[in-house]
Each structure stands twice: as structure tokens, then as C-alpha cells.
Structure 1
Amino acid sequence: TGARPGILAMFIEDTDRLEWRLLREQLTLEGEARQFLTFPEARPVVAVTCTSRIELCAEDRADALRFRNPTHPAGKLPALEPAVLSVC
């Protein structure tokens, strides 16, 4: 309904660590996420998160990516920072 901020979670399956690093370093995931956030359908989305099976199973999840929607008013709320900001 758009009444509450939403977070779009993208799970990238069948990716090894090297491929995941390349996606991150070449900004492929960031480009796709940021392009999506420009579409009208993304208006209720406060952030996009990207993770692979490696991050789900690892103790250190610093490789997961989060991209905040700069046009969403809730994107700057301190309470949502852990969900909308990348660690790295």
C-alpha cells in the first residue's frame, strides 16, 4: 500500500566469492539497484539489499550491500540505518 517503508531484498544465488566480488567492484549490483530506485514503482521502497548465499552462511556479513533510496523520507531515519546502510 505504500503506507510503510519497504525494503527490497535481492538474493543472488549460485555465486561464488570471486563472482560476488566482481559484481561489487564493477558496481553492477549498485547500478541495477540505483536504476530501479528511479522508477515510479520504487517510490515506497526505502532501500534495496543484495546478498548471496556466502553472506547468509558466513559469520561476517560485511559483504552484503544496501542502497538507500535518497528520495524516500524514511531513508534518513536513524532507526532504519542498520537496514538501509552498507557496512563497508
Structure 2
Amino acid sequence: MSDLDRIRWRSRRGLLELDLILEKFVAQYLDQLSPEELESYKDILFLPDNDLLDMANGKTDHPDGRLQALLEKIRAC
């Protein structure tokens, strides 16, 4: 299993709403992410589902600017 396959698998979450958001993001951007963005996305995947959903919906921001920049891409999907 490749690293991108693992990331795709980890992008499947317990909340349907979050699954739908991340599914669009993965389909649209995963293959185009820079190595730095890929590392940021891996870090994002460690966030709890409810917190990540709030951030993906724009209800809250992440204090780490590196992660926040990628969350903006996720929001745009």
C-alpha cells in the first residue's frame, strides 16, 4: 500500500459530513499537494472528527498557520 493510499484510507472518517468534505478534497487535490502540504494534511487527519468538521466548515480556525492554510483549501471544496 502506497503512502497516498494510506492517506486516502485515513481520510475516511466517522462523520458522514466530514467524509463528504474530505472525499471531495482528496479527489481534487491529494495528487497535487506539495510534500509540505502532504505532511500538513497528515497532521490534520489526527484531529478529532468534531474539531476537524468545525474547522472544515469554517466555524473555527486552527492556531497553526501551516495547517490553517490547508484547511482553507479543504473549505473551498
Question: Whose helix fraction is larger, Structure 1's or Structure 2's?
Answer: 2
Bin of the TM-score, shorter chain as denominator length: under 0.3
> Larger Cα Rg: Structure 1 or Structure 2?
1
Provide TM-score, normalisation by structure 1. Answer: 0.24
Question: Whose strand fraction is larger, Structure 1's or Structure 2's?
Answer: 1
